[in-house]
């Protein structure tokens, strides 16, 4: 199996590991910061949707191995992993307490995202400027959402 296929198919597994770390305490942590809190069912439904999208993106890229599919997945992973990892790290530092998910965001999300970026550029020929714009556009909603949570005690949705 090609490297891009293996790389793509790891995304849902890594996402599932992250949600497993988050699930026991994220809602309580979140609600301690944001008065307009969330429920466990909202947390689970949002992550279920994210898992479906991640599976679809990974499956599409693994099946086609096309540059366009890798570019779209870069945008998605910019949102799901890169900006989310930044959120968890910044939240942990700013609030000086464990943000559920920070371990897998640091140990899995960041290295995986860097590896995926490298494989997309080297193996599929995604141009670096295109890859950077894709991940920046994709990561923007999570970056805004994370900023609101950490610094404004608010949320987008």
pLDDT of 128 above 90: yes
pLDDT tens-place string over residues 81-109? 999 999 999 999 999 999 999 999 999 99
How does the average pLDDT of the chain come out, rounded? 97
The pLDDT assigned to 157 comes to 81
Q: What is the DSSP string of 109-134?
A: IHHHHHHHHHHHHHHH---HHHHHHH
The pLDDT assigned to 1 comes to 63
Model confidence at 156, pLDDT cuts 50, 70, 90, reads confident
**Cα separations (Å) of 103 from 85, 109, 110?**
9, 9, 10
How far apart CA 152 and CA 157 sit, in angstroms, is: 14
Least confident of 58-62, 75-79, 100-104, 153-157: 153-157
Average pLDDT score over residue span 68-72: 98
pTM of the model: 0.96
């Amino acid at each position: 199996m090609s490297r891009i296929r293996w790389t793509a198919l790891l995304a849902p597994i890594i996402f599932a590991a992250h949600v497993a770390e988050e699930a026991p305490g994220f809602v309580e942590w979140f609600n301690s910061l944001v008065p307009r809190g969330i429920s466990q069912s909202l947390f689970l439904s949002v992550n279920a949707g994210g898992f479906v999208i991640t599976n679809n993106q990974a499956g599409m890229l693994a099946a086609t191995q096309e540059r366009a599919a890798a570019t779209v997945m870069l945008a998605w992973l910019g949102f799901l992993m890169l900006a989310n990892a930044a959120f968890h790290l910044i939240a942990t530092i700013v609030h000086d307490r464990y943000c559920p998910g920070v371990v897998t965001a640091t140990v899995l999300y960041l290295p995986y995202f860097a590896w995926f970026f490298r494989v997309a550029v080297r193996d599929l020929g995604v141009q670096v400027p295109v890859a950077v714009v894709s991940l920046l556009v994709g990561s923007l909603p999570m970056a805004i959402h994370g900023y609101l949570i950490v610094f404004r005690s608010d949320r987008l949705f």
